[in-house]
Structure 1
């Protein structure tokens, strides 16, 4: 049991260590429609998905999100 808990802890720690902040901008009809937001993710596509989901939960209509 201790080995399972230790393994899960190491897995979570390694995921957090590889995550980095991305600045994402939402676009509607080709024009930036929201203020840039910061999202922590391991890769750009994951950051774009997270930012898109956050905006959708707020009720915002967005065509796409671009992160750098």
Structure 2
């Protein structure tokens, strides 16, 4: 049982090290609009995908999200 708990704790720390925080902006008609949001993801493309979905849920027009 102790080995299982140790393995789960070790796995959770290893997965956190691969997630980065990205700052993402909403773009409509080729121009940034509104403010930025923060997204945690393992890659820039994943961050842009997550940001786009979140921005759609928040409402307002969004053509795409760009993250740094």
Report the RMSD for the aligned CA atoms in angstroms.
1.8
Pairwise mapping of residues 1-68 of structure 1 onto structure 2 (< 5 A)? 10-68=10-68
The structure with the largest strand share of the pair is 2
Higher Cα Rg, which structure: 2
Gaps of 5+ in 2: none
Write the deviation string for residues 13-58 of structure 1: whole angstroms up to 9, x where unpaired: 3222211111111100011112111111110001001111111111
How far the C-alpha of 1:6 sits from its partner, in A, is 6.0
Deviation at 1:4, TM superposition (A): 6.9
